Amino acid sequence: MSEPASISTGIAARYATAVYELAKDAGDVKSLENDIGTLKSAMADSADFNALIHSPIYSREDQAAAITKIANKAGLSTLMTNTLALMADKRRLFVVPQLLQALRDIIAVDKGEVTADVTSAKALTKAQTDELSKTLKARMGKDVSINATVDESLIGGLIVKVGSKMIDTSIRSKLASLQNAMKEVG
């Protein structure tokens, strides 16, 4: 791991632990989970939000004021709003993506869950997601929460990553292995 990435991860882990402990003590872990989803969506949907948290051109005061307004408008909990304002004041907003991942991991461990990253060619239906979750639970022995993404270049099938394990049943990978086998023959 590169030095800047490990520094960001370390900073995020410390913030995540503190935020989670405060939410747990207040009995408000559910709203923390909602905040994580809201912020993940904001990062995925808004280039302006990403610029705000990553760009060094904004002053501490500008970042703190903007992130507080965004948090209030998005309906984030007071704990998350205050955390983001503190992070802006300390010039640490650039670790928000790692913070969200660390919080998601802490919550999953506390619940006894495992997160599976699933990439499919088309969006999975609710029935398909439930069936996959049930199958993975039987295989892993733990509850599985599915983080689904779509990649049309897979053509069909799935790529499932759980921890260090990966199952690739995509048509793209099958075609690639067939192509390699044909190269070896001819």
> Which positions ≥6 away from 150 have C-beta within 8 Å?
119, 120, 121, 122, 123
Q: Cβ(182)–Cβ(138) under 8 Å?
A: no
User: Of 90, 113, 66, 73, nearest to 14 (Cα)?
Assistant: 90
Strand partners, 160: 118, 167
Domains in the chain (CATH in brackets) are 3-108 (1.10.520.20), 113-185 (3.40.30)
Give residue-wise pLDDT tens across range 44-66.
Answer: 899 999 999 999 999 999 999 99
Above 50 in pLDDT, residue 2?
no
Q: What is the pLDDT of residue 186?
A: 64
> Which positions ≥6 away from 62 have C-beta within 8 Å?
none
Q: Which two tokens stand for residue 153?
A: 């270049």
Q: What is the pLDDT of residue 8?
A: 84
